[in-house]
Amino acid sequence: MSAPLVTVTELSLGWGETVLLEDASFEIERGEIFAVLGASGCGKSTLLRALTGLDPPRHGRVEIAGTGAPTLSVGRPSYGVMFQAGALFGSMTVGENVALALETWTDLPAAAIAAIVRARLRLVGLEGCAHLAPSALSGGMRKRAAIARALALEPPLIFLDEPSSGLDPVSAFELDLLIRTLSEGLGLTVVLVTHELPSIFAIVQRCVFLDRASRSILARGDPRVLRDTCPLPAVHHFFNRTSPGSSP
């Protein structure tokens, strides 16, 4: 078995006097689709920001194999990130969004960059949309375009923040399919934060379940197994869409 791609060691997260997570440790293997799960406010997005280097952790360490701790110093990035609403640059076309990193960090000629942009957009089902402004795209298309942008430099690892939230069931299913295709086809490691149970059961291979009350990882493993066997109430309620007050 190869060494893990991402290693998180005794990570603590929070801001001010608020502590969201303490001494969390886990690993993400190469090529897997890994999810960070938990109820709202448990620190999933904060963890994602620490994993991507956008915010430094309070304590502990995140290490990406081959590159060390994720930092966002100026330089060619070793991973891609898709933000919840896409965060496409509104002053550029979709094609320019995807081309930006290629123009900055490669010495490819313009024609080659255009070809790669076309290929990336075709990969995410947006062929022919390169000339459009982000505002002309639907929510699902924006997320696809953001995935294409995150994949521009062919990273081995991609982080996705709530990829299928706010999408209709068909678009969400198609996006799940795309993520699985990218993972299987390109050997991409995918780390995602999500609430969407259908997506979790459809594509996620392993997950960690964060808990706000104990500020810790409450459970970890295959989400389908956790759904069927985990006796912890918080995990049971999350995976079975129930609440402490509701009838089983």
Partner 1 sequence: MSSASTDFAIPDAAAPAFHLAPRETEPGRWAVRVEGRLSFDAGRALWQALLAVVPTPPPTALTFDLSGVEAVDGGSMALLVQTRWSLQATGVECAFAGATGTTARLLSLYGGDVSPAAEVAVAAPGFLAGVGARTLERLDEVRLLLDFVGRMVRALGGVLRHPGTANVRAIAPLLARTGADALPIVVLVTFLIGFVMGFQSAVQLEQFGADIYVADLVGLSITRELGPLMTAIIVSGRSGAAFAAELGTMSVSEEIDALRTLGIGPLRFLVFPRVLALVVALPLLTLFGDLMGLFGGLVVGVVNLDLSITAYLTQSLRALDVWDVFQGLIKAVVFGLSIGLIACAQGLATTGGAEGVGRRTTTAVVTSLFALILIDAAFTVTFHMAGL
Nearer to partner 1 among residue 2 and residue 247 (C-beta): 247
Residue of the chain from 12, 58, 60, 85 that contacts partner 1 (CB under 8 A) = 85
Distance CA 62, CA 79 (A): 14
Paired residues of 14 in beta bridges: 19
The type of residue at 5 is: L
93 counts as binding partner 1 under rule CB under 8 A:
no
Residue type, 245: G
Alpha helices per DSSP H over the chain: 44-51, 94-105, 110-123, 139-150, 169-186, 197-203, 223-229, 233-240
> Minimum distance between the CB of residue 17 and partner 1, rounded to whole angstroms?
15
88 part of the interface to partner 1, by CB under 8 A: yes
Footprint of partner 1 on 130-169 (CB under 8 A): 146, 149-150, 152
* Site track 15-54 with partner 1 (rule: CB under 8 A), x = hit: -------------------------------------x-x
Q: Does 223 bind partner 1 (CB under 8 A)?
A: no
**111 lines the binding site for partner 1 (CB under 8 A):** no
90 touches partner 1 by CB under 8 A: yes
Is the distance from CB of 95 to CB of 130 less than 8 angstroms?
Answer: yes
Q: Which of 39, 87, 114, 132 binds partner 1 (CB under 8 A)?
A: 87
Tell me which of 19, 72, 136, 232 binds partner 1, using CB under 8 A: 72
Nearer to partner 1, 81 or 208 (CB): 81
Rounded to 5°, angle at Cα 67 from 180 and 120:
35
Which one of residues 8, 20, 24, 81 is an interface residue with partner 1 (CB under 8 A)? 81
End-to-end CA separation in angstroms for the chain = 41
Residue 76 contacts partner 1 per CB under 8 A: yes
**CB 213, min distance to partner 1, A:** 18
- Is 75 an interacting residue with respect to partner 1 (CB under 8 A)? yes
Is residue 141 within 8 A of residue 85, CB to CB? The reply is no
Quote the tokens at residue 131.
Answer: 């000339």
Measured over all CA atoms, what is the biggest interatomic distance in the chain, rounded to whole angstroms?
Answer: 62
- CA pair distance 235, 185, nearest whole angstrom: 31
Identify residue 143 by its one-letter amino acid code: K
Binding interface with partner 1 (CB under 8 A): 52, 54, 72-77, 79-81, 83-85, 87-90, 100-101, 104-105, 146, 149-150, 152
